[in-house]
Amino acid sequence: MSILVNKDSKVIVQGVTGSEGQFHSVQMLEYGTNIVAGVTPGKGGQSTLDGKVPVFNSVEDAVKDTYADTSIIFVPPPFAAEAIIEASYAGISLVVCITEGVPVHDMLKAKKIISQNGTRLIGPNCPGIITVDECKLGIMPGFICKKGNIGVISKSGTLTYEAIDQLVNVGLGQTTAIGIGGDPIIGTTMRDCLELFESDSETDGVVIIGEIGGQMEIEAARWAKANMSKPIVGFIAGQTAPPGRRMGHAGAIVSGGDDTADAKMRILKECGIAVAESVADIGQKMKNEMN
């Protein structure tokens, strides 16, 4: 089992002929991801990636020809939201948007439309999602993963990789790892992911990596307290961040109240989540929770 993607996912790459799309599509194919098509307006009828992947002018054309159900977007920021909307209208059920710097106004429009159409979005400004040994969508290094029974949810790309490495070092593998993105407007929240992992029969524990700013971690923790049967280990980045200063991610800014690292860590503990004080403790803390 897994959540969101697996070896049967039929993937299209929007922006496949760009440098980022080319580079990461090669990595995804090598991992085993089932890329059935690429989309670049004006280049329909061509092929790319050594002739392995046909290119279409639109997502609609690609879906009609390949029955694709999943899309990953490597499109520049000014056009990324429209790419999300195009995929949603074409009937794609899962869209992963890697692009950083998508205007907030554009994302508000895109989120409203995909919600109406029932499309799930991961990102934007995220490393993507990987179901170990089955499907890699995005920029995560697949070689660091090991098949196992722990789900990973993270706002941070690099901390996602660190958490995976920590788990592997103590002998724990992963089912699916998701980088949800650190922007103020994203498609899928930590709570959404916890619900999916709770329903996945092969996931026995979950790591969540949050950061200062916003209420997402708190909402997830309170939902987990009432609904989650599986152990959770949490880590909050930005413990030394000064109030009022943005720290890397657009959504990582402390306005006061319970969006500080200390407040979030306290609330996570109150909700029964085992909190790692340091990123270096994540693996061992999860191992302890599984025993």
The Cα 152–Cα 141 span in angstroms is 14
Which strands sit side by side in the sheet containing 70-73, from one edge to the other?
47-48, 53-56, 35-39, 11-14, 70-73, 94-97, 120-122
Reading phi first (left if > 0) and then psi (alpha if -120 to 50, else beta), residue 4 is in left
> CA gyration radius for the chain?
19
Q: How many CB atoms lie within 10 A of CB 178?
A: 31
The single residue of 249, 264, 285, 287 carrying the catalytic annotation is 249
Task: Say if residues 25 and 38 touch (Cβ distance below 8 Å).
Answer: yes
The Cα 5–Cα 120 span in angstroms is 12
Residue 48 is encoded by which pair of tokens? 């790319």
Answer whether the bond into residue 124 is a cis peptide, omega within 30°. yes
Q: Where would I find the beta strands (DSSP E) of 65-179? A: 70-73, 94-97, 120-122, 128-131, 135-138, 147-154, 174-179
Angle between helices 104-117 and 77-89 (to 10 degrees): 10
Task: Please name which of 161, 124, 162, 122 lies closest in space to residue 140, comparing C-alpha atoms.
Answer: 161
* Residue 249 is among the residues annotated as catalytic for this protein: yes
Beta bridge partners of 274: 233
Residue with tokens 């959770």: 232
Catalytic center residues: 249
